[in-house]
Amino acid sequence: MPLNTTTAPPFVTVLVRGLLAGLVAGLLAGAFAYVAGEPHVEAAIAIEEAAAHTEPAAGVHQHEDAPVSRNGQRGGLFLATGLFGAAMGGLLATAYVLLARRRRTYDDGRSGLLLAGAALLGAVIVPFLKYPANPPAVGDPATINQRTVTYLLMVVLGLVAVWAGSLGYRAVGAEAPWWLRVAAAVGGFLLVTAVSYVVMPSFQEVPADFPATLLWDFRLASLGTQVVLWTGIGLLFAALMQQGRRRAAGVAPTT
């Protein structure tokens, strides 16, 4: 049986696998965030509210007359990570289909996992190191639009950096020693990353009296949430792709 005819499942099939992987990974990330992050969110909100009470001139704050209770927000965490995960899984699946003809490996699972790793590096870790996550009480509401735009731009630049890395890897050529190809990849990635870090504006909006340990713990939990999300998407999507190929090839017929 010619492998290639069985290895290209329709777009919708791949998309459904991505959405499913993303939804499950999103819920897992939500569970991680609930356990590792919620205590820090809670502590930060306590600080925020204490500050709001001492200086009423600072304006009405969202948490005061919130339409959603704290318990609702804790449950909404799972809704947010689940939906966000599904969206990211679907986008990953779409990228997978679009890049299918350019990949160098015929291992569906491996390429899916590689793509998720690239997304984690480019869309999460690179932006995070420039614009780390902030707990409630950190961040000036007046600059939210500016911070949102620069954050999104940084996500794009992070993905460009990963792309530059893969360009470097391929530019060196297959006959070169592996370490040279890796060096070219790292070089291309670091070049774009460094230039974007220098060019993009910085925001220093952490209040002077905000506890440094709480900020660190929150940021670690936030990064962990994204790592769980993308690791989960990558592994689940890879498993589903491999399972699908095996079934199509008739190696392991499952019902």
CB-CB contact of 156 with 192 (8 Å):
no
- Per-position x/- string for 119-158, each x denoting binding to other proteins as judged by CB under 8 A, each - no binding: -----x--xx--xxxxxx--x-x--x--xx--x-------
Q: Does 159 bind other proteins (CB under 8 A)?
A: no
Residue 138 in tokens: 């950190």
Q: How far apart are CA 136 and CA 235, in angstroms?
A: 32
Q: Does 3 bind other proteins (CB under 8 A)?
A: yes
Which of 43, 51, 191, 223: binder of other proteins (CB under 8 A)? 223
Q: How far apart are CA 199 and CA 51, in angstroms?
A: 34
- Binding piece for other proteins, criterion CB under 8 A, among 50-58, 157-165, 179-187, 222-230: 222-230
Interaction residues for other proteins, span 65-94 (CB under 8 A): 66-68, 72-74, 76-81, 83-84, 86-88, 90-91, 94
225 to each of 31, 84, 222, 231, how far by Cα in Å?
9, 12, 5, 10
CB-CB contact of 13 with 244 (8 Å):
yes
Q: Does 41 bind other proteins (CB under 8 A)?
A: yes
At residue 105, φ and ψ (nearest 5 deg) are -115, 145
Which residue is associated with the tokens 């952490």?
206
> Contact positions toward other proteins, by CB under 8 A?
2-5, 8, 10-12, 15, 30, 33, 37-38, 41, 62, 66-68, 72-74, 76-81, 83-84, 86-88, 90-91, 94, 97-98, 100-101, 124, 127-128, 131-136, 139, 141, 144, 147-148, 151, 218, 221-223, 225-226, 229
